[in-house]
Amino acid sequence: MNGPLPNKNYLGRLAIVLHAHLPFVRKNEKNSLEEDWLFQAILECYIPLLQVMESSKKQDTSNTKLTLSLSPTLLSLLQNKQIQKKYSSWIKTRIEFLNDLSKKEQAASEFLLRNIKNNYLYWEKCSGDLVERFKNLNLTGNLDILTCAATHGYLPILRENPETVLGQINTAIRSHKVIFGTRPLGIWLPECAYYEKLDEILLNCGIRYAVLDGHGILNGSPRPRYGVYAPICSKKGIAFFGRDSESTLPVWSSREGYPGNSVYREFHKDLGWELSSTELQKKGIPTSRPLGLKFHRITNNNCSLGKKEFYVEDEAIKKVEEHADNYLLSRSKQLKKLSLSASFEPLLIAPFDAELFGHWWYEGPRFIENILKRSTKYFIKLTNLREILLQNPNLQICDPSPSSWGQGGFHNYWLNDKNAWIVPEITKAGSVFVELSSNKFNDDFSIRLLKQAARELLLSESSDWSFILKAGTTTELAKERIDRHLFRFWKLIEMLENKSFIDYKFLKNIEEEDNIFPNIRIQDWQL
């Protein structure tokens, strides 16, 4: 590095922000895809990230800093004792699959078996309580844990009934407080989506800062003096941090970024697609599906899955170290340029889906590990959002622009010809619920019905289903989930309005199955 450093021993600050979220898993459903998504994320992402943070913290507490959003649905799943028990069985089944491979395949998958066993030992050591490990890192200040909307509802399409936005946020805050013992001050807005006057709702709920896409900051009013390189403060008093695209593109893009390198593990070639239905059923897997067992490398993007070469772990480890150095060198050059051209200390905000690191990009946690270890070498100070605001910076007053982190900053990924039909359905349900919740129901049974109706409404509002419908992947699953929760919602409303037709068995079954948010309050939907 050439040239003078700023008044401190670093060029500027980098805040990596990870957003961890998965949709709710039904309690009584066996072998669900959502359950597989969760277990693969635990194995490939959440445990490796915890290991990286805890190991790095022992070596350098001051520079081991990340911001992490844990959605309320994900937290409810991680704390579920039944799911914790099922995860142990799920892992053991995967180990059996790997042990059954041919000698050639066993040699190629040796790294995977070793890593799975290592992660399972970690799981056993903490008795499956990953939330407690996250909590400890939050208490030491190494992690700044944010909340999210309760079921990851896309807030701009809920705005017609502001009370439904309130329900999403208040329920999330209440759940977070029960789990972590303190009210969250920061929030990850689902899909970084913002609309006018959302800051007022956030303020009234006790939220003080959030992350936005760069479009939300750069198109703000007035245009921010320092662009996305410093947080802004809305007129209502909420601080907003803007995504820096230059800091995120090399990591999230499989085409233009690091994850697409030929030596990294191939995501799409999964053992589950190659085994016969008979072989799967012997292990209790009813249909062909990804098992999370992948031991081939990308090789090259034009190579068919059948011609992918076996993964070589040492080559991938070497490459991810190179990529971490390349990333940090690029950020240091970026920060130096910003430092020389402006009289402020620049800040780079790099937000990502947490599941990118480990699940989609297998080497991702090791990349994070190298960033934590090597950042000081490049005169970069790692920080988190809470630490930045604790320094009481002088923020420019600026109202952010409506935006999301979808393409171009628009809302159209969650509102288009594939999923727009959802909006009138959840809007109608939300309007009815808001009206009924404002009535003075004093009897316990009515409140019981309303609470379960609130859960079904929240679950139907999840943006996961809109995303899946647009992506065209498991569309039948997404439609079935929306229809199921709305059906249950309307049946509960019918029972509330006509108590001569109470289906007690139905009520008990869905209370057991959709048992999320035990501390839910109807008052949280009231302005």
Instruction: Tell me what percent of the chain is helix, strand and coil, each rounded to the nearest 5.
Output: 55, 10, 35
- Please tell me the distance from the alpha carbon of residue 312 to that of residue 456, in angstroms, as a whole number: 46
Check the CA dihedral 346-51-40-319 and report its sign. positive
> Is 191 one of the catalytic residues?
yes
Q: Which CATH class is domain 422-525?
A: mainly alpha
pLDDT digits (tens, 9 = 90+) for 101-124: 999 999 999 999 999 999 999 999
pLDDT (mean) for 414-433: 96
Which one of the listed residues 353, 399, 425, 513 is annotated catalytic?
Answer: 353
Would the annotation count 183 as a binding residue?
no
Nearest residue to 118 (alpha-carbon basis) of 171, 47, 68: 47
Q: Where are the domains of the chain?
A: 12-79+129-265+311-409, 422-525
Nearest residue to 440 (alpha-carbon basis) of 333, 518, 526, 335: 526
Which one of the listed residues 36, 163, 191, 270 is annotated catalytic?
Answer: 191
* Fold match, 12-79+129-265+311-409 / 422-525: no
Determine phi and psi for 221, rounding to 5 degrees: -130, 115
Nearest residue to 319 (alpha-carbon basis) of 255, 253, 364, 374: 364
Confidence class for position 5, pLDDT limits 50, 70, 90: very low
Would the annotation count 464 as a binding residue?
yes
| Of 336 and 342, more confident | 336
Which helix (H) or strand (E) is 423 found in, with range?
Answer: helix 422-437
pLDDT digits (tens, 9 = 90+) for 283-328: 989 888 899 999 999 998 788 999 999 999 999 999 999 999 999 9
User: In the prediction, which pLDDT does 187 show?
Assistant: 98
CATH 3.20.110.10 fits 12-79+129-265+311-409, yes or no: yes
- Asked whether the predicted pLDDT for residue 228 surpasses 60, the reply is yes
Residue 501 in contact with residue 495, Cβ under 8 Å?
yes
Whole-number average pLDDT of the chain: 94
pLDDT digits (tens, 9 = 90+) for 341-397: 767 889 999 999 999 999 999 999 999 999 999 999 999 999 999 999 999 899 999
- Please tell me the distance from the alpha carbon of residue 444 to that of residue 328, in angstroms, as a whole number: 58
In whole angstroms, what separates CA 274 from the centre of its chain?
A: 29
Confidence class for position 54, pLDDT limits 50, 70, 90: very high
Q: DSSP state, 232?
A: E
- Asked whether the predicted pLDDT for residue 1 surpasses 60, the reply is no
DSSP-derived 3-state class of residue 255: coil
User: In the prediction, which pLDDT does 28 show?
Assistant: 64
User: In the prediction, which pLDDT does 516 show?
Assistant: 96
> Is 353 one of the catalytic residues?
yes
Would the annotation count 243 as a binding residue?
yes
- Asked whether the predicted pLDDT for residue 442 surpasses 90, the reply is no
- Please tell me the distance from the alpha carbon of residue 298 to that of residue 300, in angstroms, as a whole number: 5
- Asked whether the predicted pLDDT for residue 7 surpasses 60, the reply is no
